[in-house]
Amino acid sequence: MRWISQRKRAIRPFFSNLFGAGAEDGSVPNTFVQRTYSDLDTELGGVHLTPLAGTFGRSSSTSTITPESQKEGGGNGSSSLGNTGIASSETDAAVPTPPAAPLKPGILIVTLHEGKGLSLPTQFLQSLNSQPQNSLSMGGGGFSVAGSARPTSSSSRVPASSYSISGRPQSSASINGFPTNHGRYSSKYLPYAILDFDKNQIFINAVSGTPENPLWAGDNTSYKFDVSRTCDLNCQIYLRNPNASPGAGRNEDIFLGLCRINPRFEEARQFVEDPKSSKKEKEKAAAAFAQQERSLGQSGAEWLELVGGTGSVRIGVEYVENRQRTLKIEDFELLKVVGKGSFGKVMQVMKRDTHRIYALKTIRKAHIISRSEVSHTLAERSVLAQINNPFIVPLKFSFQSPEKLYLVLAFVNGGELFHHLQKEQRFDINRSRFYTAELLCALECLHGFNVIYRDLKPENILLDYTGHIALCDFGLCKLDMKDEDRTNTFCGTPEYLAPELLLSQGYTKTVDWWTLGVLLYEMLTGLPPFYDENTNEMYRKILQDPLHFPGPEIVPQTAKDLLTKLLDRNPSTRLGVNGAAEIKAHPFFHSIDWRKLLQRKYEPTFKPNVVDALDTANFDREFTSEAPTDSLVEGPFLSSTMQQQFAGWSYNRPVAGLGDGGGSVKDPAFGSVTG
């Protein structure tokens, strides 16, 4: 993503009418190749990619092509929904809808009390019983959960890069067979919980009890979450694997179950009796009031059944209205620098009142004005304010000063997908399918809001603490694009550019399905399908070369068929032209329950090695070693006309019915500038 790393160098020339028209089938005459590719190096600023790091893999994209001031044209086309074959319930679950919003900004206070009846899956019971001294050993040929999604399989070992649908195990086992010291269990043998609210994740150890009936701190310790949109609170319970492979991190921890809480995002009200009513009428009114209150969501502590395991946990939630209308930089403690860009930097920060960790993106107004990037910056904020999707980095707040713009985002610290792909060279078929499915849901959500993403690549995909993907960097998004609309702006990343974009034919939302195909191909093989160190030659390959695949042990037949249809050079016949549902219906995704995927009920096969929310090990030390400061901006003050461009920037809560996703508030922090 451009705001995390300096590796991506943006180039901003004019790109209108750069290419001539091609044939209808996407092929290009040799005369066209001779005429244009000799000139591309000059037109594109001489952008070339660095040598490959290894047999499988490429260097990070050295350039993101962004338009400077080219006007984007619209056009007419046709789009019709076909028979996708996907179940209507799955389609309904995936159709993005504007999120219901809390009426007022606030803080969600969570307490975790205790669990009861937790148990091991059958596979772990066998390993437990086979070990002496009631110790759990899982070395050698024992069961491994590195790739299991939820403990439903009856096999003795789950491959390290597969996943399965969550569900309750068919049989359960006591988990109290761990060693004790005078009847007390060491904390390493007690379950831990991960609370997840709007991509903010908290790791909580049990303090006492038994593995079967653990005790947490309860009312003695509360955890606060900032509420900027309505979201479920997720609680996942795990048990450490005492015999995990060296360096496995949390990948081999034992999943015990999860529960989902729908909090009440209104402060509790007191029932007021009507003194004129009879006793029976008062009782009836009180019962009706209590039922109405419960329908608004959970408030207080309740026992909740675990899904994907046995037993239950007691969790308390309380919503408190926050009267603070706007934010300022002093509301955050600056912890570390995690990235720099041409317009500003990104810092890890802690919000002082809730102690939650966020990524604070600072942008200098003068820089984006001088480089004609105001529209892209405003587009990024607008997209983030509208979207509420589990696979997209959420915007928590935005505010401004006379010199700067600030975006407060969830701090997703599992590292870029590019980093993990470069490290492992390529992913197996199941892991690639898992990431592709989550990205497909993210892109479908954006398309549902008439947004084209236009810059899908591994560098713009983060992994969160639990291993799910989080799409970020929305600076190149094109807004207000209906299915039939076309745009012409030449932008994106060279390896991922679609043929219709190179040919300047105008493009629609289907350009995102091409990039999804390129990404899937790169995850499976280690390189984009038409990659070349020479950018001009790479463009020629995108337009002309046939699609080659390695053997079926790397790219199975169903994946090959999907890639062939996604990487169709003719956008009018490309898979996805009639919507994401027809991609979901492809046999490659036959094992996926899309509703469960959207509810994050699949356990990722890989979990980043992250200690807690403060961990910055997956960020470049060049940045994290720098002292975090909100640097002063020197130079002349911006005029009121320039400042007016940023009216409506400040955001601290969504409000239903507003076109920008709501949350814009008047910012009294300075003069007549509004936020």
3-class SS letters over 345-356 = EEEEEEECCCCC
- Count the Cβ atoms, other than its own, within 10 Å of residue 114: 18
For residues 78 and 451, the model is more confident at 451
* The two three-digit tokens of residue 596, written as one number: 């469960």
Instruction: Identify any residues that bridge with 235 across adjacent strands, giving them in sequence order.
Output: 195, 259
d(CA 623, CA 291): 53
User: Does 123 or 86 have the greater pLDDT score?
Assistant: 123
Q: What is the rounded CA–CA span in Å between residue 391 and residue 453?
A: 14
Q: For tokens 């600056």, what's the residue?
A: 334
Query: Rounded distance, CA 454 to CA 116, Å?
Result: 48
Alpha carbon distance 343, 266 (integer Å): 39
Are residue 347 and residue 305 in the same domain, yes or no? Answer: no
Angle at 83 between CA 92 and CA 497, to 5 degrees: 85
In a domain, 366, yes or no: yes
- The Cα 507–Cα 476 span in angstroms is 14
With respect to residue 270, please indicate whether it lies within any of the assigned structural domains.
Answer: no
On whether both 311 and 361 belong to a single domain, the answer is: no
**Is 18 a residue whose pLDDT tops 80?**
no
Helix (H, G, I), strand (E, B) or coil at 30: helix
For the chain, what percent of residues have pLDDT higher than 90? 34
Q: Residue 405 forms beta bridges with which residues?
A: 363, 400
Q: Are residues 377 and 250 in the same domain?
A: no
pLDDT of residue 526: 93
Which is the catalytic residue, given 196, 455, 473, 532? 455
Residue 37 in domain: no
Grouping H, G, I as helix, E, B as strand and the rest as coil, residue 292 is: helix
Is 365 among the annotated ligand-binding positions?
yes
What pLDDT digit, counting tens, does each position of 559-569 carry?
Answer: 999 999 999 99
What gap in Å lies between CA 646 and CA 609, rounded to an integer? 39
pLDDT at 333 over 90: yes
Band the pLDDT of 554: cuts 50, 70, 90: very high
**SS3 assignment for 467-485:** CCEEECCCCCCECCCCCCC
Around Cβ 24, how many Cβ atoms within 10 Å? 9
Phi-psi region of 480 (alpha: psi -120 to 50; beta: other; left: phi over 0): left
Residue 187 lies in a domain: yes
Please tell me the distance from the alpha carbon of residue 570 to that of residue 117, in angstroms, as a whole number.
56
Residue type, 600: R
**Residue 111 covered by a domain:** yes
**Counted domains in the chain:** 2
Return all residues near 291 (Cβ < 8 A) that are at least 6 apart. none
Beta bridge partners of 454: none
Q: How far is CA 251 from CA 121, 150, 178, 266, 620, in A?
A: 17, 13, 20, 38, 23
Owning domain of residue 399? 329-412+618-644
Overall average pLDDT of the 285-313 stretch = 86
**Token pair listed for 177:** 């067979």
Q: How far is the C-alpha of 304 from the C-alpha of 317, rounded, in Å?
A: 12
358 with 313, same domain: the answer is no
Domain check: are 146 and 211 in the same one?
A: yes
Distance CA 192, CA 465 (A): 14
pLDDT given for residue 157 in this prediction: 35
CATH code at position 136:
2.60.40.150
Q: What is the CATH number of the domain that holds 337?
A: 3.30.200.20
pLDDT over 60 at 102, yes or no:
no
Instruction: Report which listed range, 16-25, 83-92, 243-252, 352-361, is most confident.
Output: 352-361
Report yes or no on 56 lying in a domain. no
Are β-strands 63-65 and 9-11 bridged in parallel, bridged antiparallel, or unpaired? parallel
End position of a domain, from candidates 286, 321, 356 = 321
Task: Return d(Cα 501, Cα 497) in angstroms, integer.
Answer: 7
Mean pLDDT of 582-608: 92
Q: Same domain for 383 and 303?
A: no
Least confident stretch, 92-96, 167-171, 235-239, 471-475: 167-171
In a shared domain, residues 314 and 183: yes
If asked whether residues 131 and 239 sit together in one domain, one would say yes
First vs last C-alpha separation in the chain: 26
Q: Is 155 part of any domain?
A: yes
Q: Round to whole Å and give the CA distance between 287 and 302.
A: 19
> Distance (Å, rounded) from C-alpha 581 to C-alpha 86?
7
Phi-psi region of 41 (alpha: psi -120 to 50; beta: other; left: phi over 0): alpha
| Residues 348, 214 share a domain | no
DSSP class per residue in 91-142? HHHHS--PPP--SS-EEEEEEEEEEES--EEHHHHHHHHTSGGG-----TTS
Q: Quick check: 240 and 193 in contact, CB under 8 A?
A: no
Residue 198 inside a domain? The answer is yes
473 vs 637: CA distance, rounded Å: 28
| Same domain membership, residue 194 and residue 232 | yes
Same domain, yes or no: 258 and 346: no
Cβ atoms of residues 150 and 121 within 8 Å: no
- Residue 78: pLDDT band (50, 70, 90) is very low
- The pLDDT assigned to 22 comes to 32
Cβ-Cβ contacts under 8 Å for 286 (sequence gap 6 or more): 271, 273
Least confident interval from 127-136, 299-308, 597-606: 127-136
Query: For residue 223, what are the β-bridge partners?
Result: 110
Q: Is the pLDDT of residue 34 over 50?
A: no
660 is catalytic: no
DSSP reduced 3-state for 283: helix
E-strand ranges in 511-668 read none
* pLDDT score at 647: 80
Residue 72: pLDDT band with limits 50, 70, 90: very low
At 67, the pLDDT band (50, 70, 90 cuts) reads low
Predicted confidence at residue 261, as pLDDT, reads 92
Which of 489 and 94 is assigned the larger pLDDT? 489
Same-domain status, 371 and 304: no
301's tokens: 């502590």
What per-residue confidence (pLDDT) applies to 127? 60
Q: What is the mean pLDDT of the chain?
A: 75
CA distance 615 to 457: 24
The pLDDT score that the predictor gives to residue 651 is 66
The region of weakest confidence among 156-165, 224-233, 296-305, 401-410 is 156-165
118: confidence class by pLDDT, cuts 50, 70, 90: very high
14 pLDDT more than 50:
no
Q: Can you read off the two tokens belonging to residue 555? A: 């790219």
pLDDT of 63 over the 70 cut: no
